Amino acid sequence: MANLKTKHRKNQSAVVFHTYPKLIFVWPLIAAGYIFFPFASIESLLPTLGWAYLLICLLVTLTISVDVERNHTAFWAVIFIAFFFLGMWLQRYESFTLFGNLFKFFASLGVTYSSGFAIALSILLTPPYLVMFIWSRLQHRWRITHNEFEHIAWGRADDSLARGAKRVRSTYPDILELLTLGAGTLIVYSATGRSELRRIPHVPMLFLLRRKIDRLLETTSVTDYSREDILAAEESETEDVEFNDQTNDGSDATNNNDPL
């Protein structure tokens, strides 16, 4: 078994992945409508399902609307914990039931689960979600091989970077995207790390993809370039990237002016 795994790793010659727009993070809301629907006939579960669906709506709304950085998440977590212990202290020593009053307020709202609304929303969101998924698979396909980083778009000119000796970094600018789909941003730098050549956002399951990329780059690492060669290649690649970006901007503007 170990030999088979070793052979599989050695034979890996390319890593293929796709990027998606923010609509990809709506999947919990769509799934909840279908999953909760069979339980809507149980009256005792309606309040619980209602609050669960409400929290899912809140999570999806925040994910697609704002970017919550890790440092900001830690800051707000500290603030919440501080207010929580402050409320517990006031409740114990000052008879000020802050959290108790908040709980009673939300309980008095009578939140319940509307199966008709939830399933209708899921059905209406499913077609555009599938179109987005298929379109992204065709238009935003990335392929990393021994020789290049290639962006493949159906019906448009492919864009590629000669691999040479490059650095790849993965970041997670939004903690909510990480929680909902393990998504992050993949950044490709030049060999010296001075120039950012590509920034690829919204890559699902980036932590798993990064392992494959690291394995590919380790088995095909480039070490025979001198510093002068690396700097010359970096300057050439930077110019190519700027030219490709200007070309893509021009083609996008042309497509926007197209009456069809």
Q: How many CB atoms are closer than 10 A to CB 53?
A: 22
Give helix then strand counts, H and E, for the chain: 9, 7
Could you give the angle at the alpha carbon of 10 between the alpha carbons of 6 and 13, nearest 5°?
145
Regions of the chain short of the pLDDT cut 70: 1-12, 84, 87-100, 155-166, 191-193, 219-260
Asked if 35 contacts 52 with a C-beta cutoff of 8 angstroms, the reply is no
Is residue 249 left, alpha or beta, with left meaning phi > 0 and alpha meaning psi from -120 to 50? Answer: alpha
The predicted pLDDT at position 90 comes to: 65
Could you give the angle at the alpha carbon of 207 between the alpha carbons of 187 and 214, nearest 5°?
65
Render pLDDT for 45-75 as a digit per residue (tens, 0 to 9): 898 899 999 999 999 999 998 888 777 777 7
Give the separation between CA 44 and CA 41, rounded to whole angstroms. 9
The predicted pLDDT at position 161 comes to: 65
The predicted pLDDT at position 251 comes to: 46
Give the separation between CA 258 and CA 241, rounded to whole angstroms. 26
